[in-house]
Structure 1
Amino acid sequence: MTTAEKTSFTVLRAETPPVPALPPFGQFIGGKFVPSTSGETADVVNPATEEVLTQVPAGTAEDVDAAVAAAVAAKASWAATTPRDRSAVLLKIADIIEKNREVFETLESANTGKPAAVAEDDISSAIDTFRFSAGAARAFSTLGADDYAENHTSVIHREPVGVVGVITPWNYPLLMAAWKIAPVLGAGNTLVLKPSEQTPLATLKLAELIADEVPAGVVNIVTGPGRVVGNRLSEHPGVDLVAITGSVGSGQKVAASAAASVKRVHLELGGKAPVVVFDDADLEAAAKGVRSAGFWNGGQECGAACRVLVHESVAEKFTELLVREISEITVGTPGAGDAEIGSMISKAHYERVLAALEDVRKDGHTIAVGGNAIEGQGYFIEPTVVTNVPAGAPITSNEIFGPVVSVETFSTDEEAVTRANETIYGLAASVWTKDSARSLTVPRRLDFGTVWVNSHLVIATEMPWGGFKGSGYGRDLSSYALDDFSRTKHVMYNRG
């Protein structure tokens, strides 16, 4: 192993960090904040400063039961609203987020350690998600009513599934809530949402601000640990579908709990996105693409460009360009100038990423840049590039979920495709080439739900997001999300 080329990353620190406007304390059930049935609380920490921001209730199964009861009581009247009326509510929610953009950006940054650019993008994307779903709710397309059997007229109805249980992750708290809330409501369902116990603040703030715009019981929020609140949501007989964005392990637990009541499950799980750089690629563009997409949100992103496979003939040049790009990344706290990446989400996750880097050292790989914790307050880790990675090494398949990108080489197109697919994940990948034929054929052979050509991590609300294999099933974004939160009913009329 060679010595790291650069270990002098420092953290830019804001002199006066923005102060977040905290949401009320309690569980949001039936249109208002109410006390939890438990007196226990959980600390909510700013990971960039290690400061405790506030406490939220450590909810109970009884809290979930009360929230589900509120959602069940509201589901018939909400399902009976017209698509136009539901669309108007979603547009109002988008307007409320837009009006309070600074409030949400400050909350997200304080709760997650995100730099301003990432928080701003999250809030803009959340707004766009609600506005898109408002339009999509009015534009369901189904098979036309007609006679498909003699003397019988068939009509297809698209119906809400009922009550949807939602479990959201810590890496994009408000955005992942929007990805679920918008299509769930747009399709006519009510919901009970469990945010990550680490990052509940923006979701609770949203509940506070939209309480007068959404009928009571349509949106309910219960905070608490996954093993209690998440498990009860998954197994609850009053929940008709449970949707989670999270790790593979969390998805497996949700699916297992849901199986007892044979409820539908929507899983958006982990990823280990390969970046396949061919010998004819624009290497500078590819290196800049990995800088952006591999380290966005500190690499705490399931579609991150974290595993580069580069053709052996251009590997040295590409690696040189990549190391130069990563060496220029600026690390900082919320409110600190032009920081590109912030802290890890928590002390526990910070320690997991550092443990993974220690494994990299033990495996004898080269750390070309970074690879260390950054001294001082907060859970910061240097942007890291690991090179000379052989086929089959653990780092090629284990999701580190931090600011770490690995580089390995291949010799033929066939080898590139085979090795890219050798992972339990199937969420996202990218292909970098100037060859038009290759740009058409290789993506078709990659076993991933999204494949970019000459870019990575560019997301459009109109296009579906979701994976194959261990990355789960179901689709977020696009009209497919509203399909996932609907059910199809066939009514046939005998005219004979």
Structure 2
Amino acid sequence: MLPGLAADSVVISHNPSDPDDVLIELYGCSPETVTRAVQRATRAQPEWLAAGAAARSAALHRVGDALEAAHEELAGLLVREVGKPLTEAREELTRAVAIWRYYAQLPQEAPGTVQEPTSGPGLLLTRRRPHGVAGLITSWQFPLAAPSWDAAPALAVGNTVVVKPAPEATACALRVAEILKGVLPSGVLQIAPGGPEIGAALADLADVVSFTGSSEVGTAVVCAAASRGVPARLEVSGHNAAVVLPDANVARAAVDIAAAIACCAGQKHTATKRVIAVDSVLPKLREALKQALQSLSARDPNTTEAVCGPVISKTARDRVIQARDSALASGAHVLAGDTRVRRERAAGWYVDPVLLENVPDDHDLNRRGISGPVAVLSKVMTFDAAIRAANSGRYGVVSSLHTSDLEKALSAVGRLNAAMVRVNAPTTGTEFLLPLGREKDSRGVREKERATMDFYTSTRTVSLLPAVSA
């Protein structure tokens, strides 16, 4: 049991590739412990802001340096705790370091603007000010990069931070906190491990809230924040479509789409869940996807060749198998992905990437999808029908289009109802240099890049006029 943690709920984190390997077992925080963490952060925030832009910038650079120094250790921990393939784990660490160094520049940004008054002498100013304490409720898919996307800009503009990690990624969060001890001032960045009740407590206490997870829980977080007039940002479910036109480079498109189905075992919010083939491209695309996915079968994430590792839990694996069987019972057939567990990897929560065809329109896989390496292939006859099909889902994270027709590519950019449109690229992959948001039920204000400054600060208007003689 960690010092200061109350015995309310037990947090257990297993190795998905070897469930008997328990990384961590501890009592999570109680809501009272979260209250004390927020109080410490509240006390630390004025001094953190008053330290000035140069001090905050230097501190964020030190965080990047500390993470870089622990690169291989943390990459190994990512593999062990969430089953992320080694190559991708190393890439996540590299990205996390780059994120902290990028946002280390943010404190030097102008804190506002200056305007001339409409009449008479004086100045009209805008000044950005931090909200206070940022509560970050994070998911396990990117245990280091995703919290960095939120924590780094929140700290850069003068907030302090309390992070509630996903239980499945608790060991990663606590190890980072140990590495950063002494790098940041006391109380500036704290970890509050635990279950849903801890996230709820943080949403009820923080001055600004960022949430990553399911749309159902996200709705509750937004309601809790809205009831207090507190800004909240959500990153929730994706049901992303990849559209392939007859003029596409089919071999290249199949490689990109297969990777977007299989990487991180299909558990990213940007994973491809629907593949929409237009007219005559279907037969060629079907065969290319089958071959590409067969080469991406689930394997030990400790190998550099692995693209698809285990899913995060037995429940997640069972959900994939049940969805596949349900679709088959409804008349679908499997193009790729035998979900039977192989003997040599029976200990882990492995499932091969699954591609299904002829799935009924009203099946869950066509309506919202599941977290796992499962996708549906379907055919439409026209480009317009493909756009309608891609836009038909509840969620709007990302859509991809594969074509060599520039006119259709530009048309799709304006018509696809997703926050990100990627042409001749997989749905997976985001750039922290660009703002990222969500459409429809995926919801969410823009984040990353300079858009985070708007979210993690409030803008105050100041009128500075000359004194009038008595």
What is the TM-score with the length of structure 2 in the denominator?
0.95
Q: What CA distance in whole angstroms lies between the structure 2 residues aligned with 1:180 and 1:79?
A: 17
Q: 1:478: how far off?
A: 1.0
Give the secondary-structure state (helix, strand or coil) at the position aligned to 1:87. Answer: helix
5 Å-filtered alignment, 1:25-424, equals: 26=2, 34-38=3-7, 40-50=9-19, 51-140=21-110, 142-226=112-196, 228-236=197-205, 239-375=206-342, 376-389=346-359, 391-424=361-394
Q: Deviations over 1:361-401 (max 9, x none)?
A: 22211111114142411111111111234545431222311
In the alignment, which residue of structure 2 is the partner of 1:462?
433
C-alpha displacement at 1:89, in angstroms? 0.8
User: Structure 1 CA distance, aligned partners of 2:379 and 2:254?
Assistant: 15
Cα deviation for residue 150 of structure 1 reads 4.3
Displacement, 1:175?
1.4
Deviation at 1:330, TM superposition (A): 4.0
Helix, strand or coil at the partner of 1:326: helix
The match for 1:13 is none
Per the TM alignment, residue 129 of structure 1 is displaced from its structure 2 partner at its CA by: 0.9
Rounded to whole Å, the distance in 2 between the matches of 1:294 and 1:58 is 34
Conserved? CA contact 1:114–1:334, under 8 Å: yes
TM-score, reference length from structure 1: 0.90
Aligned residues: 462
Question: Match of 1:354, as an amino acid?
Answer: I
RMSD between superposed Cα atoms in Å: 1.7
From 441, 444, 456, give the equivalent of 1:473. Answer: 444
Cα distance in 1 for partners of 2:153, 2:329 equals: 46
Q: Is residue 163–residue 192 contact of structure 1 (8 Å, CA) maintained in 2? A: yes
Deviations 1:330-381 (A, max 9, x none): 4222323512211010122222222222221222111111141424111111
Asked if the contact 2:327/2:359 (under 8 Å) is kept, the reply is no
1:450 is matched by which residue type in structure 2? M
Name the aligned partner's letter for residue 125 of structure 2. Answer: V
Contact 1:384 1:405 in 2 (8 A): yes
1:428 aligns with 2:395: no
Q: 1:150 to 1:57 in 2, by over 3 A?
A: farther
Cα drift, residue 140 of structure 1: 4.4
Look up the equivalent residue of 1:357 and give its one-letter code: R
Deviations 1:230-249 (A, max 9, x none): 1111112xx21111111111
1:142 offset after TM fit, Å? 4.2
Cα offset for 1:429? 0.8
* Preserved contact between residue 8 and residue 27 of structure 2 (Cα < 8 Å): yes
DSSP 3-state at the match of 2:228: coil
Which is bigger in relative contact order (C-alpha 8 A, separation at least 6)?
1
- Corresponding letter in the other structure for 2:446: R
Paired residue secondary structure (2:239): coil
CA distance in 2, matches of 1:82, 1:329: 49
Q: Percent identity?
A: 28
Paired residue type of 1:230: G
Tell which deviates more after alignment, 289-298 or 142-151. Answer: 142-151
Aligned residue identity for 1:483: D
Partner SS for 2:104? helix
User: CA offset at residue 482 of structure 1?
Assistant: 2.6
The residue aligned with 2:460 is: 489
Matched-pair contact (CA < 8 Å) for 1:47–1:346: yes
- Going from structure 1 to structure 2, the CA distance change for 1:108 and 1:362 (only over 3 Å counts) comes to same
Deviation at 1:415, TM superposition (A): 1.1
Amino acid in the other structure paired with 1:206: V
Which structure 2 segments of 5+ residues have no match? none
Shift of 1:84: 2.1
* Partners of 2:119 and 2:348 in 1: CA distance: 67
Quote the Cα distance in structure 2 between the aligned partners of 1:366 and 1:210.
Answer: 50
1:45 is aligned with what amino acid?
H
**Which deviates the most, 108-117 or 473-482?**
473-482
Quote the Cα distance in structure 1 between the aligned partners of 2:94 and 2:304.
Answer: 20
User: Is contact 1:367–1:387 with CA below 8 Å preserved after alignment?
Assistant: yes
- One-letter amino acid of the counterpart of residue 398, structure 2: A
Q: How far 1:121 moved relative to its partner?
A: 1.3
